[in-house]
Amino acid sequence: MHKKTITLALQGGGAHGAFTWGVLDRLLEEEAIGIEALSGASAGAMNAVVMAHGLTTGGRDGARQALKDFWDSISLRLPFSMVQDHPGAASDIAAHSELPASLRPLLALPRFFSPYQLNPFDINPLREVLLRQVDFERLRAACPVRLFIATTQVSTGTLKLFRNRQLSIDVLLASACLPLLHHAIEINGDAYWDGGLTSNPPLFPLISKCAARDMMVVLLNPEPTLKVPKTAAEIRHRLTEMGFSSSFFTELQALTLAQREARRGWLAFGRVERRLRQLNLHVIESRQLMSQLDRHSKMNAKPAFLLGLHEEGRARASQWLEINARALGVRSSFRLSRLLA
């Protein structure tokens, strides 16, 4: 297969981002696949920036090692990583997804107290991990891929994208700043929250600012369910899911409409219209597995859980490559209508 260049859009989802780690780990083994750009929100932004740092300092092998080091550090540093794992193999992901009942009352505190009350000094273990593992100055100066990191501006409630030369530790922490858990991150006088609230992950910059014909989206969404949430906890959980996925589906609907119009308007010769006509969409996901995971599992940094998600991500990426690798540069391997149905 001739070398094909893709862009990657990485969805956020807390600890579930370890699935994306596995996908990237497998894709980086394929020398025939080049990467032009990455976009991401929250955990997707973490994966994008850590991978870009590794590419900058050590090429593809450096990127794989950087991702491993990051997720190993997450399992060692974050509070819930100290919870003893359930017995069983790491591949039994669902068995490791539940948090013990003794810890669950802690997750209820943000309903009654703000992060400014619970965490007045804004202690965030991620800051130390990222400062130790990512050279932001070098990344700004020499990164070989384009980066589009999503944040949400608190004052306007709108998307703010940060690109390579604007990257900093605060930009990355802002992209993963959950309003109920962390203080808003201030950048140049403006306050920012989690990018997943407004774009999870960003798609259009990969069309308007890039040249690759193939866009790969790594999704962490669970399968749709017909079950109507009825308990207070179920309703809160579903509202949170909808809040972090509605922006993505809105962008997909806009992309579907834009592609349709671009293909109809043969007299339109603009660059974006040509890009839309030629765009091939590919998706790697594990929606059935994500539907089985405990609703608190996005906060779960237990080593066996993260390793199991990584293994699942690698397996799904290998499966995709076996079936669809020849589609790169030729056609889409995924229909937008499947997600929008």
Give catalytic residue positions. 42, 194
Task: Give which of 2, 1, 4 is closest to 212, Cα–Cα.
Answer: 4
Instruction: Give the C-alpha separation, 225 to 234, whole Å.
Output: 13
Reduce the DSSP state of residue 103 to 3 states and report it: coil
Residue with tokens 């866009």: 215
Cβ–Cβ under 8 Å, residues 149 and 12: no
For the CA atoms of the chain, what is the radius of gyration? 19
Give, in degrees to the nearest 5, the angle at Cα 240 between 237 and 245: 125
Going by C-beta distance under 8 Å and a sequence separation of 6 or more, which residues neighbour residue 261? none
Instruction: Give the C-alpha separation, 137 to 2, whole Å.
Output: 34
Going by C-beta distance under 8 Å and a sequence separation of 6 or more, which residues neighbour residue 312? 19, 22, 93, 286, 289
Give the Cβ contact number of residue 1 at 10 Å. 10
Both structure tokens of 29? 């083994």
Provide the angle, in degrees to the nearest 10, between the axes of the packed helices 43-77 and 125-133.
100
Reduce the DSSP state of residue 192 to 3 states and report it: strand
Q: Which residue type, as a one-letter code, is found at position 196?
A: G
Task: Give which of 15, 20, 77, 21 is closest to 219, Cα–Cα.
Answer: 20
Going by C-beta distance under 8 Å and a sequence separation of 6 or more, which residues neighbour residue 117? none
For 20-77, strand residue ranges (E) read 33-41
Both structure tokens of 47? 């994966």
Instruction: Give the C-alpha separation, 176 to 195, whole Å.
Output: 7
The CA-based diameter of the chain, rounded to the nearest angstrom, is 64
